[in-house]
């Protein structure tokens, strides 16, 4: 089990980290919201333990930004704010569970284990069906692309291109490979059809258009 612990109080962070490590869990620690969002952009975690009162970006903001970019990693909010209103707000903005401080470690462990068990059934399907990068989400089952949660209309070839890029993050895709995958053998390799379509797709990706980078003389790389 792979946990991201977002907590600015060193004493509390050490306590949780030691306890979870003793249970055989892998724990990555972020001391503020911005660092947490960076970790979440690059890596997959089974669950996030999220403190609310953080320097800079608050825990509520981290939660909302994760859900806005279609990151459905289970979140357990951990905070001194134990009032019922705060708990309701936390759950409403996308947290999966809530534990007020001070808490009992055994309860934290039991809740995290339950969260992970519940999400496991969904995660297999989610990782197979959904390709996610920043604010982009392409669902391979429904073939829908959303940009910051808004659906974007794509032609068939544009859709194939998006699926190809998003399923090969950070890999150099040669022009030949793209042509073969999206257009098949009938297109002339010298054609500029790829550049035309990449230009269109970049526009449709809006603020994330730059994620499709041109690698001069070689092809394209996504993210
Ligand atoms: Ca705090």
DSSP assignment string, 64-111: HHHHHTT----EEEEES--SHHHHHHHHHTT-SEEEESS--HHHHHHH
β 75-79/47-51 pair status: parallel
CATH number of the domain within which 177 lies? 1.10.10.10
Domain match, 123 and 146 both: no
Strands 136-139 and 144-147, sheet pairing: antiparallel
Task: Compute, in angstroms, the gap from residue 79 CA to the centroid of ligand 1.
Answer: 7
Who wins on pLDDT, 66 or 86? 66
Task: Tell me how far the alpha carbon of residue 17 lies from the centroid of ligand 1, in angstroms.
Answer: 15
pLDDT value of position 186: 67
Same domain, 33 and 123: yes
For residue range 57-82, list pLDDT tens digits in order: 999 999 999 988 888 899 999 877 66
**How confident is residue 127, by pLDDT bands cut at 50, 70 and 90?**
low
**Domain extent at residue 162:** 134-222
29 and 113 assigned to the same domain: yes
Does residue 206 come out as left (phi exceeding 0), alpha (psi in the -120 to 50 range) or beta?
A: left
- Same-domain pairing of 111 and 139: no
Contact 94, 67 (CB under 8 A): yes
62 CA from centroid of ligand 1 (Å): 13
Rounded distance, CA 46 to CA 117, Å? 10
Quote the number of domains for the chain: 2
- Of 81, 97, 129, the residue that ends a domain is 129
208: CA distance to ligand 1 center in Å? 32
Closest CA to 2 of 133, 167, 123: 123
What would the mean pLDDT of 143-163 be, rounded to a whole number?
92
| Same domain (yes/no): 118, 188 | no
Instruction: Say if pTM beats, i.e. exceeds, 0.85.
Output: no
Residue 124 has pLDDT above 50, yes or no: no
Ligand 1 center to 19 CA (angstroms): 19
Could you tell me the distance, in angstroms and rounded to a whole number, from the CA of residue 43 to the centre of ligand 1?
23
Ligand 1 geometric centre to CA of 72 (Å):
23
pLDDT tens-digit map of 16-69: 999 999 998 999 999 999 999 999 988 889 899 999 999 999 999 999 999 888
Residues 120 and 194 in one domain: no
Give residue 80 CA to ligand 1 midpoint distance, Å: 8
Of 83, 103, 129, the last residue of a domain is: 129
Closest to 222 measured CA to CA, from 182, 177, 158, 166: 166
Which candidate, 86, 37, 38, places its Cα nearest to that of 62?
37
Rounded to an integer, what distance in angstroms lies between the CA atom of residue 137 and that of residue 182?
A: 19
Boundary of a domain, candidates 104, 129, 154: 129
Q: Do residue 12 and residue 102 come from a single domain?
A: yes
| Judgement on whether residues 206 and 96 belong to the same structural domain of the protein | no
Helix and strand counts by DSSP (H, E) for the chain? 8, 12
Q: What is the pLDDT of residue 93?
A: 84
């Amino acid at each position: 089990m792979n946990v991201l612990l977002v907590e600015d109080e060193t004493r509390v962070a050490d306590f949780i980290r030691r306890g979870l490590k003793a249970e055989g869990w892998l724990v990555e620690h972020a001391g503020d919201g911005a660092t947490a969002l960076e970790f979440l952009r690059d890596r997959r975690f089974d669950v996030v333990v999220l403190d609310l009162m953080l320097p800079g970006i608050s825990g509520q903001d981290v939660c909302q930004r994760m859900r806005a970019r279609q990151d459905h990693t289970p979140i357990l909010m951990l905070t001194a704010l134990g009032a019922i209103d705060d708990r309701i707000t936390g759950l409403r903005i996308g947290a999966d569970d809530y534990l007020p401080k001070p808490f009992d470690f055994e309860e934290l462990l039991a809740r995290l284990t339950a969260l992970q068990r519940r999400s496991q059934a969904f995660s297999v399907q989610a990782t197979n069906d959904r390709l996610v990068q920043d604010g982009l989400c392409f669902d391979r089952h429904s073939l829908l692309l959303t940009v910051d949660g808004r659906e974007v209309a794509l032609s068939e070839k544009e859709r194939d291109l998006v699926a190809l890029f998003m399923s090969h993050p950070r890999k150099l895709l040669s022009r030949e490979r793209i042509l073969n995958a999206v257009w098949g053998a009938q297109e002339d390799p010298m054609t500029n059809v790829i550049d035309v379509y990449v230009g269109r797709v970049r526009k449709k990706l809006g603020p994330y258009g730059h994620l499709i980078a041109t690698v001069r003389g070689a092809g394209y790389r996504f993210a």
